[in-house]
Amino acid sequence: MMPAHRIVVFAHVVIGLALAGPCSAADEGVAQTPAASTAVQAVGAPVLPPVEAASASEQCKSGVRTPADLRIYTEAFPPYNDRAPDGTLIGSSTDVVCTILSRLGQAAPIELVPWAEGYRQTLETPGSVLYSTARIAEREPLFAWVGPVGAYELVFYAKASAPIRVQSLEAVRNAGPIGVVEASARHRFLQRHNITHLTTCPDDVTCVQALMAGDIALWFGSSDTAAENIRKAGIEQTDIVALYPVETRELFIAFNKQTDPARVAAWQGALDAMKADGTYDAIMARHFGEQPVRDDTDPLLSSLVALTELRLGAIARTFQVLALTEEVQSGVWERIRPLLVEQERGEAAARLWYARPDGSYYTTVDDLTSGNLMARPYFPGLLAGVPAVGPVVVSLSTGRTTAIVAVPVMDGKRVTGVLGASVYAEVLSREISRMLSLPEDRTFFALDSRGKYILHAKAPRIGQDPAVQVTPAARDIFRRMMQQPQGQVGLSLAGRDQVLSFRKSTLTGWRFAVITKLRKR
């Protein structure tokens, strides 16, 4: 077993620290303390926050104040969180956390610890924070959540030389011992599916080494971190193969459940602002690929994004007006229902609803339903007063893939309810197709935050993961789409050259794409 290393980094930050551009941690003049903690030096004067993303070591240099109870934990989970050879903390999620702290004018210690230790501390200790944490059903009531800050795919890996092939969980159960990081979301996934022949490891590098040593038959890893963990284990990338992707997970910042809701809301607000002004996208581009040059030359892509944003934005604006009416302010469903029924008559693409702060909700068809929205990732933000446009869920009332448009109903600063619409993705796709009048050599789609189709010119593909049944080259293109705010790339499918132009919507967070078929080779 590898020794458990522990690093403490003080995330000293100043709100809106101005930086000229990215540079390595080695350029920062970081001093290593005898206690193996890294204190980052203070530099610069505060100005407006830049859109260009700075590294964690750049952002975390000086601080205004440190909340006495705030303690932040993370693990070695590259490229989201890791440590550089000089001991500094790095990674896309680390940059996000430090930028949030910067915007809030705060400082806090960040400790790199084994996952199980960080999880336990955050679960048990008020004021604790853990990133990057998969938001899964069994964890939902245990923490308060801010995010998402990333996404990854759960994948079973094997030695390339091993005569093992799995394409189902039943085959996994019969494959032999499976290595997984102890207490991780992947560990819980295996337990939930009654896969019991497990070998737990403190980290993924140990799992990789156990796989190559023949101690385990499969390693249950993450698509985004596998290559780096294989490299750190000293193994050739070609010696390990991905066999079976099973699920896509979103990553969040998890807070101890007793955390002041105002603190959680402030962190979420800072993250939302980063996503709106381009800072978040710049961080993702710096960690996952080159910063793209914005491509505004394709009017069809511009029309696709604009039509969708106008369509969903119009619903949100209507709700904002309705939220001010006496009927909605009353909170009495019998008075609210006629307003929503009238709106729904002209809205074939959506089911309208009203929710109470406890998560119970009413629809125009079912009145009070048996479902509850409290566990939906978008709902805490609404309770904090932040509208939601674009979260994708499978509707509790209809079972269909839907995009959520919802606004809080406010009484002063207090949220008394939520007006919402579950917009049917397949109906919206057909509407967009009709409005675009696509020629035969053009097609379109949009990916949600999980990387799954939320819009597609061929509606039956909605909800599918495009990266599962494609070539490695095509999978890399979809990965690039999820990591960069916009760009253009050439590809070849079915022997035909094509150009894919894509752009992220600042309203919904979806990645929109238009494909142009060029010619047959």
- Two tokens at 379? 């709902």
- Two tokens at 35? 């206690």
Asked if residue 233 lies in contact with residue 212, where contact means CB atoms within 8 angstroms, the answer is yes
Indicate the domain borders of the chain. 7-113+260-288, 151-250, 302-424, 427-520
Alpha helices in 224-348 (DSSP H): 226-232, 261-277, 279-288, 299-322, 326-330, 333-345
pLDDT in tens, 437-460: 888 888 999 999 888 899 999 888
Inform me whether the pLDDT recorded for 191 exceeds 80.
Answer: yes
Using alpha carbons, list the distances in angstroms from residue 425 to 125, 252, 310, 422, 519: 41, 25, 15, 9, 31
- pLDDT at res. 143: 96
Q: How far apart are CA 228 and CA 240, in angstroms?
A: 12
Amino acid of residue 220: F
Asked if residue 11 lies in contact with residue 81, where contact means CB atoms within 8 angstroms, the answer is no
Fold of 427-520: Beta-Lactamase (3.30.450)
- pLDDT at res. 259: 93
Q: How far apart are CA 370 and CA 218, in angstroms?
A: 41
- pLDDT at res. 279: 85
Local structure of 84: helix, strand or coil: coil
Q: Which residues pair with 421 in a beta bridge?
A: 352, 405
Amino acid of residue 110: I
Q: How far apart are CA 303 and CA 309, in angstroms?
A: 10
Listed residue (334, 331, 364, 328) closest to 346, CA to CA: 364
pLDDT in tens, 59-81: 354 445 667 788 999 998 888 89
Specify whether the backbone of 503 is left (phi greater than 0), alpha (psi in -120 to 50) or beta. beta
Q: First CA to last CA across the chain, in angstroms? A: 53
Highest mean pLDDT among 145-159, 220-234, 331-345: 331-345
- Two tokens at 309? 């944003």
Inform me whether the pLDDT recorded for 58 exceeds 70.
Answer: no
- pLDDT at res. 7: 35
- Two tokens at 224? 């985004």
Q: CATH says 151-250 is which class?
A: alpha beta
Q: Which residues pair with 146 in a beta bridge?
A: 253
Asked if residue 451 lies in contact with residue 482, where contact means CB atoms within 8 angstroms, the answer is yes
Q: How far apart are CA 322 and CA 127, in angstroms?
A: 38
Q: Which residues pair with 491 in a beta bridge?
A: 498
pLDDT in tens, 263-273: 999 999 899 88
pLDDT in tens, 118-143: 999 999 999 999 999 988 878 889 99
Those residues with Cβ within 8 angstroms of residue 209's Cβ, 6 or more apart along the chain or in another chain: 233, 235
% of the chain with per-residue pLDDT over 90: 36
The reply to whether 302-424 and 427-520 are identical in fold is yes
Please state, rounded to an integer, the average pLDDT across all residues of the chain.
80
Q: Using DSSP bridges, classify how beta strands 178-181 and 218-222 pair: parallel, antiparallel or unpaired.
A: parallel
Length of the chain: 521
Asked if residue 155 lies in contact with residue 230, where contact means CB atoms within 8 angstroms, the answer is no
Max CA pair span of the chain: 69
Task: Classify each residue of 90-108 as buried b or exposed e, where b means 16 or more C-beta atoms within 10 Å of its C-beta.
Answer: bbbbbbbbbbbbbbbebbb
Average pLDDT, stretch 316-338? 92
Question: What CATH number belongs to 302-424?
Answer: 3.30.450.20
Confidence of residue 280 (pLDDT cuts 50, 70, 90): confident
Q: How far apart are CA 192 and CA 194, in angstroms?
A: 6
Beta strands in 160-300 (DSSP E): 178-181, 198-201, 218-222, 240-256
Q: CATH says 7-113+260-288 is which class?
A: alpha beta
Amino acid of residue 188: R
Least confident span in 176-190, 376-390, 433-447, 457-471: 457-471
